[in-house]
Structure 1
Amino acid sequence: MIHKLEHIGLFVNDMDASVRFYSEVIGLKLVHRARLEDGVELGFMSFEGSDNIEIELIGRGSSDKPDNGKVHHIAFTVSDIEAEVERLKGLGVKLLDETPRVILDGVKIAFFFGPDGERLEYFEPKQG
């Protein structure tokens, strides 16, 4: 029986830059960072007080190694998407959506990119 989503693994080229991005831009905290015997570095990040879902940053050292699969995007729920998009602009984050899009009769979404070109999404649920 599956109980929950454990984590999302994401290849990164620069662990320090990715930890900084996910901390400062997204608001995650670094829970644990370790290097495995084979040299691969891992960084587990989650929201304060919500350790039940994590993003696992997987340091691969260089972009020429195969990804062994793709993650299309990671979505984060926000309460004021317009304010969050403006905050991203102020931080110089590369945006796919300069303004939020409305889908499904009221859900707002906006895509942007992380430091390795990973696609990220802010998601504001339909109001009322």
Structure 2
Amino acid sequence: MVKNMDESIRFYTEIIGMNLDRRVALNDEVELAFLTFPGQESVEVELVGRFDGKLSADGIVNHLAFTVDDIEAEIARLQAAGVSMIDTAPRVILNGIQIAFFYGPNGEKLELFQKP
């Protein structure tokens, strides 16, 4: 979660050396930015910015996301393993990206992420 998206993108690109892959408004309140390291596009940092400048009650780090090839199969696998699910079916955002949230063993929020 970031207070100022422009400042955060500058930090991660100019100081950390990441590339800005894309920046999009999810809705009227939330903006997302996705950054990767050169040559390591499979590992992505997602910045979540609130247009009103407020941070989530969840804290600064909201969740960790894992890219998958078949989100429905992964949801079924997690359910069969007894994992506590937030989403039992994928949500579709940003022109076809599918996501689903679940909890890790310590209550940490995790996400499955499938690109179209």
TM-score scaled by structure 1? 0.46
- 1:3 maps to what in 2? 17
- 1:124 maps to what in 2? 114
Q: State the Cα deviation string for residues 20-75 of structure 1 (Å, max 9, x = none).
A: xxxxxxxxxxxxxxxxxxxxxxxxxxxxxx8xx7xxxxxxxxxxxxxxx6520000
- 1:111 maps to what in 2? 101
Q: Which amino acid aligns with 1:2?
A: I
1:125: Cα distance to partner?
Answer: 0.5
- 1:78 maps to what in 2? 68
Q: Distance in 1 between matches of 2:111 and 2:88?
A: 12
SS at structure 2 position matched to 1:85: helix
SS at structure 2 position matched to 1:96: coil
Stretches of structure 2 that go unaligned for 5 or more consecutive residues are 1-14, 19-39, 44-58
Q: Distance in 2 between matches of 1:88 and 1:117?
A: 15
Q: Which amino acid aligns with 1:3?
A: G
Say yes or no: does 1:95 pair with 2:85: yes
1:123: Cα distance to partner?
Answer: 0.2
CA RMSD for the aligned pairs?
Answer: 2.4
Q: Which amino acid aligns with 2:80?
A: G
Aligned sequence identity (%): 55
Q: Distance in 2 between matches of 1:121 and 1:100?
A: 10
Q: Which amino acid aligns with 1:88?
A: L
**Aligned length in residues:** 66
SS at structure 2 position matched to 1:84: helix
1:3: Cα distance to partner?
Answer: 3.0
TM-score scaled by structure 2? 0.51
Q: State the Cα deviation string for residues 58-106 of structure 1 (Å, max 9, x = none).
A: xxxxxxxxxxx65200001000000000000010000000111111121
Instruction: Please say which structure displays the higher CA radius of gyration.
Output: 1
